[in-house]
Structure 1
């Protein structure tokens, strides 16, 4: 039995990403599990009034879960809440929904996601505490997600010359190549100052936050596809 199969049979940390009704009394639940990534489980009887699972199967509640099954849809056999739900509100709540939808859209099934899971947990905690600018929290998670997906980018060196990035220079990003110095500053270019911020995952001002957003959207586009993210649409309707 593989390590991933063993993880399914034992308790592991997880969060609910999304759920929908299944039959009259059950739920079909999308989980983000520490050891197996994206997992779909059937929570039998979870919609009934007396179900002990009902209150726990909510987004942003730290859980311990256990499930069985060999098919694509597993059967939930145990669930415990580790703590109360993380208190997200207003724009921070919609940012949490964005993280959930992003994971659902791009994360592969049955892969160890320990590092990404910790990044997600840390992001939710920061959103709950409103500990940093929302855009900075989201960009750091997106960069960790890209790393998990194998999307490696060198922000510190010019891909053309190999020279260290200069704060005062402009660079154009070429997928599968990297950032190459450009003598002319164009709309799609990045400054060396912005690239160093991306390398450090530190975004102290609006300039670096906008540059990071532009880069992660560009890099995530092949994984997300052309279908709009519902969480972005909801955010725009509510706050813009």
Structure 2
């Protein structure tokens, strides 16, 4: 990658201190993918450093100018882009999981370019779910957030070419009254003692998330597939010292 004179949109997926006033960051840059870079002047007590540090936060869309041809780039300039996204409180842990999932995925795979826009819309939907003036009842907000998490995982697998069909098993349609097992990389297969009931798989395929048990079944199969794709457990400690996946999500 050569210098990019024009600004590119990006999100911070991970950052850590570097020297006295700088940070090492992993950025997801639109149309470029994962970029690791140094950003100077984001630590310290100066007004400029405090302001730049406030801009360099997860879920904050920024515009960056990137310099350098080696693996570790330099962010020459950056500035925030107003989006109205506010991730705090209850959804913070879930969205942090999504960022870590993206970080590990982007290390190995390049999603289709439109997935960057999908991530932006995902953050907006999560923000809308938890707005004080939302029409969603408080008791239903967490469930709606979990639905968004499952949809994000599905779409991520699709964007990197590892999706699977909820409605078929070994090229045969899923039957309502049958049970199925799941093999990562292969999909569902008939199994008398299988953990996945046909009725639930059909409900998931049709997006009927209100069906009892659908979210749990989706969570289990998606976790198996993601762990196979990433080559690691989603419950293992990440490089950031957090768990990859919220237990109730």
TM bin, normalised by shorter chain, reads 0.7 to 0.9
From 166, 169, 175, the equivalent of 1:155 is: 166
> Does 1:212 pair with 2:208?
no
Q: Is the alpha carbon distance of 1:206 and 1:27 closer, same or farther for their aligned partners in structure 2, counting shifts above 3 Å?
A: farther
Deviation, 1:6, is: 7.1
Deviations 1:70-100 (A, max 9, x none): 1111100221211156222322111111111
Count of residues in correspondence between the two structures: 228
Question: 2:162, 2:185 within 8 Å by CA — same for their partners in 1?
Answer: no
**Aligned residue for 1:138?**
149
> Does 1:172 pair with 2:204?
no
2-structure distance, mates of 1:82, 1:91: 24
SS in 1 for 2:57: coil
C-alpha root-mean-square deviation of aligned residues, in Å? 2.7
Deviation, 1:199, is: 3.0
**Aligned residue for 1:43?**
39
2-structure distance, mates of 1:91, 1:38: 27
Structure 1 unaligned blocks of 5 or more: none
Structure 2 unaligned blocks of 5 or more: 130-135
Deviation, 1:111, is: 4.2
TM-score (norm 2): 0.80
**Aligned residue for 1:34?**
30
Q: Is the alpha carbon distance of 1:7 and 1:146 closer, same or farther for their aligned partners in structure 2, counting shifts above 3 Å?
A: farther
Deviation, 1:114, is: 2.4
1:46-195 aligned at under 5 Å gives the runs 46-48=42-44, 49=46, 50-51=48-49, 53-83=52-82, 86-108=85-107, 111=110, 113-130=112-129, 133-159=144-170, 162-182=171-191, 184-186=192-194, 189-195=195-201
Q: Is the alpha carbon distance of 1:47 and 1:212 closer, same or farther for their aligned partners in structure 2, counting shifts above 3 Å?
A: same
From 204, 229, 232, the equivalent of 1:225 is: 232
Deviation, 1:59, is: 1.0
TM-score (norm 1): 0.82
**Aligned residue for 2:132?**
none
